[in-house]
Amino acid sequence: MKKIGLYTLSALLSISVFYSCTDLEEELNQNLTAEEAAIAGSASDALNAAYDRLKDFQHTDFMFVLMEHPSDEIAGPTRGADWDDGGAWRALHLHTWNSSHPRVVGSWGSALSGLFRATEVLGFVPTDSERAQATFLRSLFIYTATDLFGTVPIREPGEDLAQLPSITASRTEAIDIGITELEDQLANLPATTNPAVANIYAGHALLAKMYLNRAVYKATDADGTPQSGPFTFETADMNRVVELCDAIINSGNYSLEDDYFSSFSPVNSETSSEIIFVSQNTNDFGGEIRRFNFMTLHYNQNPGSWNGFVTLSDFYDSFEDDDVRKSSEIPNLSENSGLTGGFLIGQQFDVNGAPLEDRLGNPLAFTPDFNLANSDEVRGIRVVKYQPDYTNINIPNQDFVFYRYADVLLMKAEALFRTGDVAGALTIVNTIRSMRNASALAALTEADLLAERGRELYWEGHRRNDQIRFGTLLNPVQERSTTSDRTKLVFPIPADALATNPNLIQNPGY
């Protein structure tokens, strides 16, 4: 793939993007107009560069961290000298981050770098398909920045890069821009089921996600402070969610997998009937998806890892014991280690069934409790969702999943529930639960819907977003005893971005 390497850190700063770890680090000696930039490559080159930015979502230094760590699914306890990192992980769990938090700074730059790259495609002369794919990616990054930061600086295609972005969209404005642009190009998306391509089904899924959350972003005070709900979900938006989900369901191209964990295996996109859209990885370049296991498994497990992230005990307890999502034997794991898919608690074993020990020679038995500031090696429930690729531990083959069929079904169920069709929503939820070997629910509440989304989609990057929509993100959880202020529903804009773009105003509370 030919890289368009002319836009460097200094150039990106001129368009209010601060991105500290990219391939854009050569010095740029001048600002380029769109016409001058066209010399650097083609629409197809630029589109490949925009797709490449999707890999940041699977890197645990960027968006995934902000999408999960403030929720009730993940915590990063300090273990002696391990995992302190200047208190960065504690701040995410305690909702005490600030504008200089490294994951906040990195995620802002990453999201806007992706938006810049997608917009760059439209400054060339793309084919109809390339234009639609770039618009999908542009809407995805607008939606991501809206969800995380509220305010989104947006550059129109062809703008002079020497100038600031012409649009500084508020939270209430940005979601409409993302929806309108993608609706306009939806029919031009490729009619393929290749999950590595922004296909028409991915377009339907992203639009459904944006419509489902639009009420959240519209509930914003005049000064930009986000409201915490309950939200008023417009019937027209919920009906559109159902239409979009039905377009995927009725296509006949997707179905729930008998094997839940096949969507996260080293060959997931090749075998799973659920996967709609991914960031593609190969054993030549696997991004950072390996970190999902490396940051949770113990040093003495296979793979030997970094003994970090855990899940919260209340979240673990929300699963029935027979639910396959809680724990499953997986051939890929059992053949190479003593691991199972799902949650790891209690005594751990090696591939031969021998009990493992921690680094001090004590039994490696994970406990449900942990201390955010001072845990030992065994405290905290560990999670195995994306399975290690034992053909190449450091550069795994599996793709990072953005959208899959079960999420589509649950989005439809939620939209039906919010328009009064509780029976229809319950049928969908119980269909999923039956496939996961969980007992049928006799009735359905909002709390049930949120819990089911958690059980189905844990550690996939949806939980913070879901908890905000259902009004629970600010609630106390294990190792966070107080209710957070509603200003924590968005993250602060990094100081460097404010310094380089005077059109940006810091979010309230920071």
Confidence of residue 41 (pLDDT cuts 50, 70, 90): confident
Please provide the average confidence, as pLDDT, over all residues in the chain. Answer: 92
CATH, domain 9-189, list 3.30.70.100, 3.40.50.300, 2.60.40.10, 1.25.40.390 = 1.25.40.390
Asked whether the predicted pLDDT for residue 161 surpasses 90, the reply is no
More confident residue, 72 or 81: 72
Residue 205 identity (one-letter amino acid):
A
Residues with Cβ within 8 Å of residue 61, at least 6 apart in sequence: 21, 102, 103, 106, 288
Strand partners, 379: 367
Residue 243 identity (one-letter amino acid):
E
Residue 322: C-alpha distances to residues 254, 256, 327, 340 (Å): 25, 18, 8, 14
User: What's the chain's length in residues?
Assistant: 510
Confidence of residue 100 (pLDDT cuts 50, 70, 90): very high
Sorted by where each begins, the domain ranges of the chain are: 9-189
3-state helix, strand, coil in the chain (%, to 5): 45, 10, 50
Q: What is the pLDDT of residues 289-347, one digit of tens each?
A: 888 888 999 999 999 999 999 999 999 999 999 999 999 999 989 899 999 999 999 99
Percent of the chain with pLDDT over 70: 92
Closest CA to 372 of 480, 456, 264, 491: 480
Confidence of residue 401 (pLDDT cuts 50, 70, 90): very high
Asked whether the predicted pLDDT for residue 23 surpasses 80, the reply is no
Rounded to an integer, what distance in angstroms lies between the CA atom of residue 182 and that of residue 104? 27
The token pair at 245 is 């989900």
Rounded to an integer, what distance in angstroms lies between the CA atom of residue 232 and that of residue 156? 31
Q: What is the pLDDT of residues 215-227, one digit of tens each?
A: 999 999 999 999 9
Q: What is the Rg, in whole angstroms, of the alpha carbon atoms belonging to the chain?
A: 22
Residue 160 is predicted with a pLDDT of: 87
